Chain A
Amino acid sequence: MRIVCPICGARDRREFYYQGAAVALERPAPDAGDAAWDDYLHLRDNPAGDLDELWSHDAGCGAWLKVTRNVSTHEVKAVRLAGGAS
């Protein structure tokens, strides 16, 4: 599998670290309550289709990336820097 790092170009999957669904970006307020935090850390849609995920170019530039990828075909559809900067 290959991912196009916006900074380094197309690289093999082996250069990247996978965290999970990109919902990790939406950290709740400290007082948002049990349900919000349980949702944030544990519950997942876990769809069999397109998913927004967080990857890090660990063995390269270290950039955190938000990747849209179909988890049934592994097709990478979009890659951008996680912080929103393009």
Chain B
Amino acid sequence: MRVDGKGLIDRSQPVAFRFDGNRYRGFAGDTLASALLANDVRHVARSFKYHRPRGVLTAGSEEPNALVTVGRGAATDPNVRATVQEIYDGLEARPQNAWPSLGFDLMSVNDLAAPFLGAGFYYKTFMWPRAFWERVYEPFIRKAAGLGALGDEKDGDHYEKAYAFCDLLVIGAGPTGLAAALVAARSGARVILADEDHLMGGRRNAETLEVDGKPGHVWAAEVVDELARLDTVRLMTRTTVTGAYDGGTFGALERVAHHGPRPEGGVKETFWRIVARRSVLAAGALERHIAFQNNDRPGVMMAGAVRAYLNRWGVAPGKAVTVFANNDDAHRTARDLVAAGVHVAAVVDSRADAEALGDYRVIAGAHVTGAQGRKGLEAVTVDGPNGAEKIATDCLAVSGGWNPTVHLTCHMNGRPTWSDGIASFVPTQGAIPGLVAAGACNGDFSTSACLAAGAAAAADSLGALGIKAADVALPAAEDAPYAVAPIWAVPGKGRAWLDFQNDVTVKDVKQAAAENYASVEHMKRYTTQGMATDQGKNSNVAALAILADATGRGIPETGTTTFRPPYTPVALAALGAGAQGSGFAPERKTTSHAASVAMKAPMIAVGLWYRPSYFPRDGETTWRQSCDREVGHVREAVGVCDVSTLGKIDIQGPDAGTLLDFVYTNMFSTLKEGRVRYGLMLREDGIVMDDGTTARLGPEHYVMTTTTAAAGQVMRHLEFVTQALHPEWDVRIMSVTEQWAQFAVAGPQSRDLLNGLLDQPIDNDNWPFMACGPVSIGGVAGRLFRISFSGEHAYEVAVPARYGANLFAALVKAAEGMGGGAYGMEALNVLRIEKGFITHSEIDGRVTAGDIGMGRMLSAKKDFIGKTMAARPGLVEEGREQLVGLKPVGPVKQLTGGAKLYSDGQEPVRAHDQGYVTSVGFSPGFGHFLGLGFVRDGQARHGEVLLMVDHLRDIRTRVELCDPVFLDPEGGRARG
């Protein structure tokens, strides 16, 4: 119910929202949880395993119970914590994981079967009959599992990623964080202050305690105000620091726009990478529960949360509130409620010497032993020094004490340290280099201790950076000692909950111990305690205390499980922002891309590049028709193909030739100026890395080409050789792939075409096969290489990229005028297969020079990368698969890439495996398919017939092995 005169909400701004199909009203500043509690809605969800009714437990992101789905369609957001979701007009939220309704959930029948569904039950059964696991049990388990459901549509919201840098990152804006930020800001340091809430101040917004003689939230707002006016301070609200990583890097999620309707084109969330020279963790502490029979009823809440709902949101979660605690802090809840006119039935305090802080009944030395009211608390039973009693109550505020929020300090293999003084864990300082934990997260719970710790942490951090810390007078604040007497579970029959979402009880932990899952990691995995969406924030310490007890060890000896990022869950859309659709990888386009698209060429991805597959002409209805025609252009007239994507590396210097001799298997220092040579490059392990042609343009100037696929790898390799292996060589290298647009002009009429464009004509004498050099085209300084990948008389002409589009247009127009035209990847593939030229389909990263018939290219005269390892016995022995040509000779004429080759007349199984097919293409010239492949000792088996079977495509035929060069083996056409 709403309480008058309390709360930081804005009662002048009413808000209408829906939950579970019902309309409710709240105010600006309410969360869904506070607004529902204000409307007396206590049952908001169901637990995972037993589908028991669940109500709001906490007032923060650690909430394990009140998970709802917000939105519909593309905006469906499952597993939203109602305690964090700010309400706005039109907000629509629904319960999850309950069918047919929240009120009547059929799966709650699981609760009746609870004795059979204890920890690990599924490992002991569901095995018979064998087929049933997959067909019956597992589908049922899967359907019952999971909490919320994703929407069916693509996430239509917009997400971003960003970087931020600072001297000091302060994580948490409660009194500790505010004090730290203030000191740092006044010292002139660049500060980032981040808090997961939209209102900075931490628990100052939840307490009636004064700071500096004024209400805590007023003091906090004043500090924030001062910080907001400084350029050197970045205030990040609604921002959770999710992880601590190496080198002072932190991940953080900013929930930019969850507090209003879908932003039109605006950003919903931003994932930040924050690099901080130093950091202060001021993350506060989280309250913990006490386990007792049926402590999971809606209406049982954390005492600090009840206080927050009262003071910050003006809501009393019940009309007759009872408190159950083992510490003084929880009494503040009773005191505040009474002061606000809310009835407090009693404070049940386990400590025999407990005293009231105000005008309410205290039952000291007593425990709550049970809670009644399945869908909403109605009463609790209490056992005390004066016997048992039943108290009518609709809200039980429980406090087992506070656990410092140590998580971030453990993200880099650190383990927290047990502190007997607070019966909880504190951070081990230094676990994150450069990060200091201060305040409640470091075990100091009084406000004045927090202020001092925050200021000191900032001062120390600044000192380490050589920045003089400003002197800041700390305000007066309460300094009550923290008095707690640990109690983890109230003995008794019945189930007592530890993990509310996964339904893990004290019995489950004890059973795990009995079954020898005694390590805390085993207990966690076996019972699933701590594996829910809250990652055990409210159950970890109690569970391990119970495990410790059950296994006869102390808590420190039992240890904790590992805390790992993210501190609270992060949407994949935020972590992967920018990658939807084409954003995933850059698109590299050649200078002829636009023209190719205009010519209706389908563009296919080749690595990050796009290249045209074929150029369809009117009347052509299949790609084969276009491909066959384009092959014909090149063999009979002239074709033009953009080859800019092949890597081009410019190499200059007195030792350029030496470098090439070292990275290629064959000699390049002996290459004459104005000539091009084919080169083979090995990896240091002796396997072929890449091939290409390198042209010598000058005495100390070469240009190397690589394949498209290996360009980056080769460049990195050359950098390694020149920088690391031979820094003494005088040579410079530069990637110029994108600086030059390069086109193949191939076919019997290629020279004629070029002579129509070049400023100086060429002929067979001044430009023989494998010649290269500078040329001028329409006044533009370019380069011409007479090399051929098609086996025809051919050239590659290169101009600076800014002229590429125009040159392509001119070349294609000229070619069409001569009965030819542009050709794409399909035709390119057929042409090169006809000539037995290899690509990375053949040199796939496992073949040697010998395997592809290029053993003679390994120079005996010099050392080169890969030489020694290429001579390993396994790389030169008999039986290796060697490159062969393949011709179909069976009734079926189709060959397929990836098909296997088996001994003829044998069963196509592994025992008869002879090799495989790498590349195939239909040759219009030969009138049938040609293929390249690898066969054991293939070079000695030309003429032999093998069985080709493509099991997957269901194609079977016989092939004859032959020399891979099908067409013009003498090479006369290229030399014409």
Contacts and interface: CB of A to CB of B under 8 A. Distances in A.
Interface of A: 1-2, 12-13, 17, 19, 24-25, 27-28, 30-32, 34, 37, 41, 54, 56, 58, 62-64, 73-76, 81-85
A1 B868 contact: no
5 contacts: A1-B245, A1-B246, A56-B716, A64-B719, A74-B412
B720 A56 contact: yes
Interface in B111-164: none
A40 to B, nearest CB: 8
Contact of A27 (B246, B248, B433, B725): B725
B247 interface: yes
For the complex of A and B, 9 pairs with smallest distance between CB atoms: A83-B727, A2-B247, A1-B246, A82-B724, A64-B723, A74-B246, A30-B863, A64-B724, A83-B723
B723 A2 contact: no
B486 to A, nearest CB: 34
Given A1-B245, A1-B249, A2-B246, A41 B720 contact: no
Given A30-B863, A81-B723, A2 B248 contact: yes
The residue in B273, B433, B869 that gathers the most chain A C-beta atoms within 10 A of its C-beta is B869
Contact of A84 (B685, B720, B727): B727
B352 to A, nearest CB: 48
B696 interface: no
**Range of interface residues on B (Cβ < 8 Å):** 20 to 34
Given A41-B869, A84-B727, 12 more contacts: A13-B247, A30-B868, A37-B868, A54-B724, A56-B719, A58-B716, A64-B723, A74-B412, A75-B433, A82-B723, A83-B723, A85-B727
Contacts of B247: 1-2, 12-13, 74, 76
B407 interface: no
B433 A41 contact: no
Nearest to A81: B723
A83 B724 contact: yes
A25 B725 contact: yes
B275 interface: yes
B283 to A, nearest CB: 23
B178 to A, nearest CB: 29
Interface of B: 245-249, 273, 275, 412-413, 433, 684-685, 716, 719-720, 723-725, 727, 863, 867-869, 872
A2 B249 contact: yes
Contacts of A84: 727
Contacts of B412: 73-74
Contacts of A81: 723
Nearest to B163: A12
A25 B867 contact: no
A63 B723 CA distance: 8
Nearest to B715: A62
Nearest to B720: A64
A76 B247 CA distance: 9
Nearest to A40: B684
Contacts of A31: 868
B269 to A, nearest CB: 21
A34 B248 CA distance: 44
A71 to B, nearest CB: 12
A51 to B, nearest CB: 15
Contacts of A64: 719-720, 723-724
Contacts of A82: 723-724
Contacts of B245: 1
Contacts of A74: 246-247, 412
Given A2-B247, A41-B685, A63-B723, A30 B867 contact: yes
A30 B859 CA distance: 13
A74 B248 CA distance: 12
Nearest to B733: A62
A30 B412 CA distance: 44
Contacts of A12: 247, 249, 273, 275
A79 to B, nearest CB: 12
A41 B723 contact: no
Nearest to A4: B247
A83 B863 CA distance: 20
A41 B863 contact: no
A56 B713 CA distance: 12
B24 to A, nearest CB: 46
Contacts of A24: 724
Nearest to B869: A37
A1 B412 CA distance: 12
Contacts of B716: 17, 56, 58
A33 to B, nearest CB: 9
A42 to B, nearest CB: 9
B858 to A, nearest CB: 12
Contacts of B727: 83-85
Contacts of A1: 245-247, 249
A7 B965 CA distance: 49
A60 B248 CA distance: 21
Contacts of A58: 716
Contacts of B249: 1-2, 12
Nearest to A83: B727
A19 B413 CA distance: 25
Contact of A41 (B248, B273, B413, B684): B684
B613 to A, nearest CB: 31
A24 B246 CA distance: 26
A75 B724 CA distance: 23
B343 to A, nearest CB: 56
Contacts of A76: 247
A62 B733 CA distance: 11
Nearest to A27: B725
B719 A62 contact: yes
Contacts of B273: 12
A84 to B, nearest CB: 6
A74 B720 CA distance: 24
A46 B286 CA distance: 41
Contacts of A13: 246-247
Contacts of B246: 1-2, 13, 74-75
A58 B717 CA distance: 11
Contacts of B868: 28, 30-32, 37
Nearest to A2: B247
A25 B726 CA distance: 10
A38 to B, nearest CB: 9
The residue in B248, B275, B433, B719 that gathers the most chain A C-beta atoms within 10 A of its C-beta is B719
B685 to A, nearest CB: 6
A18 to B, nearest CB: 12
Contacts of A28: 868
A26 to B, nearest CB: 10
A27 B725 CA distance: 8
Contacts of A32: 868
The residue in B413, B433, B720, B863 that gathers the most chain A C-beta atoms within 10 A of its C-beta is B720
A31 to B, nearest CB: 8
Nearest to A37: B868
Nearest to A58: B716
Contacts of A37: 868-869
Nearest to A3: B247
